[in-house]
Structure formats: structure tokens, C-alpha cells
Amino acid sequence: MAENNVSLWGEFKKGLWQDIPPFRLVLGTCPTLAVTNSVKNGVAMGLATLFVLFFSNIIISAVRKYISSQVRIAAYVVIIALLVTVADLFLAAVFPAISKALGPYVPLIVVNCIILGRAEGYAQKNPVVPSMIDALGIGTGYIISLAVMSSIREALGFGSILGFKVLGDWFEPWIVMILPAGAFIVFGSLIAAINYISQRKSAAQKALG
Amino acid sequence: MKLIFIFISASLINNFVLTYFLGICPFVGVSNKTENALNMGLATTFVMTLTAAVTWPIYQYILVRYNVPFLEYVAFIIAIAALVQLVEMYIKKSSPALYRALGIYLPLITTNCAVLGLALFMVLRDYNYIESIIFGFATGVGFTLAIVMMSGIREELEFADIPKPFQGISLSLIIAGMMAMAFMGFAGLIRG
């Protein structure tokens, strides 16, 4: 039992660093770039994605033995599209302001490759509980990534985080950071930073071993 | 006149890749060679034009008429997947040469978020049928333009000495950022 717990924790943890989307698995880049101009939008998008990912992994893992492999992608896409519709209607009813700010990017979760990628790469081969944990890990990693990216962009673009001023009046906001160009540049630099850290790590391991 | 505005706006000013971040996966994935990039662009343009032509009647005559517009995501994604499949089968039969050039790219287009995004924007903006088709075509042209330019830059970079952490996708994204900045210049084209 204890061993089982350890491996479930491992499933969860791999989403947080080893396979953290979208930096390691370069999936789901479109919403990452589009909605991270403020922390609030970024985190809301992350939560919506986590919701869809969690339920799609559970459902797909539960029905995996009944879907023939020729039609599986189509079946997954329909399941995901229905879940996204639920998430979209929920957001529109409960948080209309956020729903408006995210606009068409909520429906675009349908084609967010993270979700189809996890369905194809994990849920269709594994039982329900590990698939659930996998979704939680990847989803949490995704929220963290979106939060980090949107904090950087909001801090540099508006001088604030979550609407609170973090940089003083001396700071001239870099408007470019909240424009599309800034999104690409921050995203590219973050990937480079993560590459740099892991290359240092593996170099250190080689030197030791 | 409005049609010309839609065309210029969708292909240059509000370029899907560089301002709405749609279609980034193929943009980064297939832009290492100009030839591949051009074929991908053409295939996408073709599918986008057809998507606009097919999803517009589906939305107006089926979803709105029977009062179920909340099913639009499910309906659109099924329509796009079916459309891509049909196009693939048709091209395979009618023109094997074209199929060889576009073949492997067609299935990828189903998951290209620019195609679904196009259908959603078309509904949001209330375009009529002709405007929708022009919008679909122009979006495809914009996508082709961006991906071909990107591949040109990446081919030049092949022999450059790039710091190791920046190699690959990281640098591609930063280049895309520069291109987005350059495309912002087009915003001055239309005023009022």
C-alpha cells in the first residue's frame, strides 16, 4: 500500500517539474500566450483547463475498453467538447467578467493539445485513479506555469500583480509586455531558463557520477 | 469595400498566429524548412476556406434554428474533423501529386486551433456568408505568410552559433515575438 502511495505521488509530481506543461511538453501554447496578460485571467484559464482535463481523463480512462481504436480520437474530442461547453457555461454564469475577458479562448480548450495529449498518452492506457492523479499533476503544473508567466507580464506591463502595485511610481510600464510580442518573448525566455537549469543539473550529475 | 477590409484585417493586422496566438503548434513544429512550411500553409488555407463555407450554414440553419447554439463547439469540431477527412480522401483520389505534397499535414490540421478559432470568431463577429468565406481565406493567407517567413528565418539560423539553452523552440518563440512586433506596424493601415 505504501509503495502504491509513493507511485501515485510520483505521478502527481512529474506534472510539476519533469513534464511541466507548457514548458517541457510544448503543448497548449495558444492559451498560454493569449490569456497571460494578467494574473487573474491566467489562473482562471488554468483552473478551467484543470477542470476539463480532470474529468476528461476520468471519463476516457473509464470507457477506454469500450471504444475501438479507429474512432478513439473522434470519441475523445466529442467528450472534451462537451466538458468544455460545461466549463464555458459555468464561467459565463458565475464569473461573467472573467468569461468575457477570456472570450473565445475558453472554447478553444477543446483543441488544447494538453488534454488530447494526456487522453492519448495516459488515460487510454491506465486505470481511473492514476489517470485522475495524472490530470491533477499536469493541471496544477499548468496553473503554476500560467501564474508565473502572467506575473512576469503583468508586473512588467502594468507594474502590478493581481491589481496591486508592486513596482513604484518610478517604474515606466513596458507596454510591449502585455501585447502579443511580449508574450512570445517571455515564453521563449522562460523555456531557455528551464533548459539552462536542467542542463546545469545534468552536468553536475555527470561530474559527480 | 468591407470585404477588402476583412481581407486585410484578417491576413495582416489581426494575423491569427501573431496577434491571437492561434495555430502556434504547427507554426513552431513545421517551420524548419520553407518548402514544408509553404505546403502546410496552402493545406491550411484550403481547409480554412472550406471550414468557413461549411460551419456558417451549420450554425445559422441548424444550431440557431433549433435553438441549440450552446452545442456549437461540439458541432464545429465534428464538422472540421469530418471535413479534413473528406478533403484527404478527395485529394488522394483526384490528385496523387498534391496528396504526396500535403498528405501528412492534413490530419494535423484538425487539431490546429486556428481552424476552430476561425469558426468561433466568424460567429462572434456576425459575418454574412460571403464575408465568412473571405475571412476564412484571408486567415489562411495570414497563416501561410507567417509560417513561411518564420521558416525563412530559421533556415538562416541553422548555421548560427546559438547559446545552448536557447536552441530549438525557445529561440523560435523569441523570433515570433520580434515578428509580432513588426506586424504591429500594420495596425496603421486602417483607421476608421
Q: Residues A106, A84: contact at Cβ < 8 Å?
A: yes
Is B173 in Cβ contact with A187 (below 8 Å)? Answer: yes
Lowest-pLDDT choice from B72-76, B149-153, B168-172: B168-172
pTM of the model: 0.78
Q: How confident is the model at residue B103 (pLDDT cuts 50, 70, 90)?
A: low
pLDDT of B20 strictly over 50: yes
* Domain region containing B96: 16-188
pLDDT of B60 strictly over 50: yes
Q: Residues A21, A141: contact at Cβ < 8 Å?
A: yes
Domain map (residue ranges) of chain A: 2-208
Q: Across the interface, which of A110, A185, A196 has its CB nearest the CB of B165?
A: A196
CA distance B187 to A77: 36
Q: Is A148 on the interface with B (CB under 8 A)?
A: no
Is B113 in Cβ contact with A112 (below 8 Å)? Answer: yes
Q: Is A192 on the interface with B (CB under 8 A)?
A: yes
Share of chain B above pLDDT 90, in %: 3
Q: How confident is the model at residue A1 (pLDDT cuts 50, 70, 90)?
A: very low
- Of all residues in chain A, the one with the smallest CA distance to B164 is A196
Task: Considering only residues A23 and A115, tell me which one the structure prediction assigns the higher pLDDT.
Answer: A115
First to last CA, chain A: 33
- Of all residues in chain B, the one with the smallest CA distance to A80 is B74
| H or E, element range at B181 | helix B169-184
Residue numbers in A near B166 (CB within 8 A): 188, 192, 195
CB within 8 Å of chain B, chain A residues 18-57: 26-27, 29-31, 33-34
Q: How confident is the model at residue B84 (pLDDT cuts 50, 70, 90)?
A: confident
pLDDT in the model for residue A2: 40
Write the CB contacts of A108 (distance below 8 Å, at least 6 apart in sequence): A30, A31, B22, B113, B116, B117, B120
pLDDT of A174 strictly over 60: yes
CA distance A61 to A34: 30
CA distance A21 to A117: 11
CB atoms closer than 10 angstroms to residue B135: 25
Q: Is A86 on the interface with B (CB under 8 A)?
A: no
CA distance A144 to A132: 18
Assign 3-class secondary structure to B17-79: HHHCCCCHHHHHHCCCCHHHHHHHHHHHHHHHHHHHHHHHHHHHHHHCCCCCHHHHHHHHHHH
Residue numbers in B near A89 (CB within 8 A): 70
The DSSP letter of residue A169 is T
Residue B100 lies in a domain: yes
Lowest-pLDDT choice from A70-84, A130-144, A151-165, B55-69: A151-165
The pLDDT mean for chain A works out to 79
Q: Is B77 on the interface with A (CB under 8 A)?
A: yes
The DSSP letter of residue B192 is -
Residue B66 lies in a domain: yes
Q: Which of A3-12, A43-52, B99-108 has the highest mean pLDDT?
A: A43-52
* Pairs of residues, one from chain A and one from chain B, whose beta carbons lie less than 8 Å apart: 119
pLDDT in the model for residue B36: 78
Residue count (chain B) = 192
Residue B93 lies in a domain: yes
- Strand intervals (E) in A69-188: 160-161, 164-165
| Span A28-67, pLDDT tens digits | 677 777 777 778 888 888 888 888 989 998 998 888 888 8
